[in-house]
Amino acid sequence: MQTSLNKIEYSPKQRSFIFSKFDHLFDVNEGSIRSGKTAADCARMAVYYLLSPSPLHLVTAYNQEQAYKLWIEADQMGLAYIFDGSAHLKRDRGGDCLELDLPNGKKKVYFKGGGKSNSANAIRGISLGSVAYSEINLLNAEFLEETFRRTAAAPIRYHLGDLNPPAPQDPIIEFFNAHDANWLHWTAKDNPIYDKKRLADLEAEYRRQGPYKYKRDWLGERVMPQGVIYSQFNQDTMVDQTLIGEPVEMFFETDAGQDDATTMSCNIVTRRQVEGEWRFVLNRVANYYHSGRETGEQRAMSTYAAELKQFILWCVRTYQLHYSVVQVDPAALALRAELIKIGIDASLSNNNGHEVIGGKKGIEVGIQRQQSLIANDQFRLVEPPEHNPSYDHYHYLRELSMYVRDEASGHPVDANNHAMDESRYAANYFYSNYM
């Protein structure tokens, strides 16, 4: 894959890390978003593969799609581009891999997801020379432990992880300590793509977004989020491998944007026993999510409509259920019109625009409903089948951890909230029909 970039520059921080000695078992790059960690990681692993005698290696992220995007592609700075002419995408009994023809022998770099509770099963029985992790704090704890077992016999054993700053009490910090991680801090100033003016503009932008965003996303500090709105959600106990209970209804909720994310959730209501009582439960079973701002690829609403129709049909085939309604945020009139044009009878979501209940009004009504469902164990995430990782809950969980209240006003911060919005619409629909 020949890169179209005319010139590739690494900052002094990146160069120092890329070519440093492999005298640590475990390196961790932690810091602010867009700080150049990923580009440095890919180049560092490329140097390692040229030294390692081991034939098999692993790169990973929350799901396989992310692992490919962040390690193999990496904005044309990934492994496939670094080894252009010597790299070939293959698939064997171990899974999808990038096969490298190198002077020290043929290497296979498998790319796999590590975010699910059963992810460790995909690597058991494989002897690896190295493992590299993107957004390591989002990966399953058993999977992480298994990766260290898989490299135990490697002649030059190496692990490399990166992450944006976690909360100070995040369990991943204990994992770093247990495995004697060599820690390196990064900020946007370490990314050579930014000149002084752009750095100044970005710093001002993050300052305007409040202390939490400024400290975490600009300074790269570990900060305890103030006022996480759905703090009741526990990823360890509220995620199911399969749908549990008797299915009652399937429906879809949608929020839309072009720069902002367009997201649709597939929701299935089941009847199941909760704490000895029969209750209705709202299960979020799949998610379409695309952000023009994050990917740099803006899509027309007609394109979104076609892709959302594919998502709906995939859910129907996968879960063998007919759906009742497809609902769209009333503000997304263009997307709703495009869906209707291609045969999806889309109606309007309840976005809490005019609701007042007790002392709550507007979106606070929907937030309270979602909080109650989580607290009563009537909201579950259900992992979709392995054959389509692009419809998993990666973006939902990421937003969930960052959906906070402004410290000054107490209102929800209008960022990291697109999946949060359509999840709130689903809670409103569930309350109207089952509570």
Separation CA 193–CA 432 (nearest Å): 50
Alpha carbon distances (Å) from 94 to 97, 128, 131, 274, 411: 8, 12, 15, 39, 48
Pull the structure tokens for residue 82.
């670094």
* Number of residues that this document lists for the chain: 435
Can you give the pLDDT of all 435 residues of the chain as single tens digits?
666 656 778 999 999 999 999 999 999 999 998 899 999 999 999 999 999 999 999 999 999 999 999 999 998 999 999 999 999 999 999 999 999 999 999 999 999 999 888 899 999 999 999 999 999 999 989 999 999 999 999 999 999 999 999 877 788 999 999 999 999 999 999 999 999 999 999 999 988 877 778 888 899 998 766 678 888 888 878 999 899 999 999 999 999 987 789 999 999 999 998 778 899 999 999 999 998 877 778 889 999 999 999 999 999 999 999 999 999 999 999 999 999 999 999 999 999 988 888 778 889 999 999 999 999 999 999 988 866 668 999 889 888 887 888 777 788 888 778 999 999 999 999 999 998
Element (H, E) at 248: strand 246-255
State phi, psi for 360 to the nearest 5 degrees.
-100, 145
Torsion of CA 384, 388, 390, 392, to 10 degrees: 10
State phi, psi for 59 to the nearest 5 degrees.
-120, 145
Query: Are the beta carbons of 369 and 194 closer than 8 angstroms?
Result: no
User: Which ranges in 234-329 belong to alpha helices (H)?
Assistant: 292-295, 301-319
Sign of CA dihedral 333, 424, 225, 183: negative
